[in-house]
Amino acid sequence: MNRLIDWLLGLHGLPVYGLVGLLVFAEDALFVGFVLPGETAAVVGGVAASRGHASLAVMLVVVVGAAIVGDTVGYEIGRLLGPRILRTRVLEKRGDRIDSARELLARRGGVAVFLGRFVAFFRAIMPALAGTAGMRYPKFLAFNAAGGLVWGSAVVLLGYLAGNSYGTIEKTFGRATALIVLTVAIAGVVIWRLRRRRTNRRTHRSDQRP
């Protein structure tokens, strides 16, 4: 893995954007996160930006976009293949962890999709489980987008700051903090509105009961 990371850090421009984006995308869409976590690729993308090999703004867009699209593909795979996907050789060996992910999804619903983005195994399997469970796509997309935005921004900025000297970190810390706060605030608003809508629906149903 160290050789792969060194190779990625030696690339400039479009190749580094393409490979980082592909690895982040494939983690959720094709389950390669069991081999190489997309989080590692995203952090490396941030380091590449800190070294001037890529634009920080473009890298943020690439990683966040790849995370959201990859989750969507994983969701569609789960929706189309259903329980059959859980019987594949790769997943059968991880039955206990999959059961934990399914329990979290059953208890927390869309929030599990958001939280799963921050745990390597759940990040790779949760979209497919949401599709298998029949979660409505608009609901999935809302939590998926919020998770992808917060996670993608945080890990790229982490790599960017870690790859800089102390002086550069000191100069950019304010801007980085503002970006993190903004993404967390957006995610918080999305989750709050979805929870409020769900609560209103439950209240409405309760009022209609005899």
pLDDT of residue 145: 92
pLDDT (tens digit, 9 = 90+) per residue, 119-150? 877 888 888 888 888 889 999 999 999 989 98
Average pLDDT over residues 191-210: 59
74-95 mean pLDDT: 75
* Amino acid 209: pLDDT: 55
Among the listed residues 5, 15, 1, 3, the one whose alpha carbon sits nearest the alpha carbon of residue 53 = 15
Higher pLDDT: 79 or 210? It is 79
In angstroms, the CA 91 to CA 20 distance is: 24
The encoded tokens of residue 175 equal 């801007």
* CB 127 within 8 Å of CB 75: yes
Confidence of residue 63 (pLDDT cuts 50, 70, 90): very high
Residue 187: CB partners within 8 Å, gap ≥ 6? 114, 146, 147, 149, 150
Average pLDDT over residues 159-183: 53
Phi and psi at residue 11, to the nearest 5°: -90, 160
| pLDDT, tens digit (0-9, with 9 covering 90-100), for 6-20 | 666 777 788 889 988
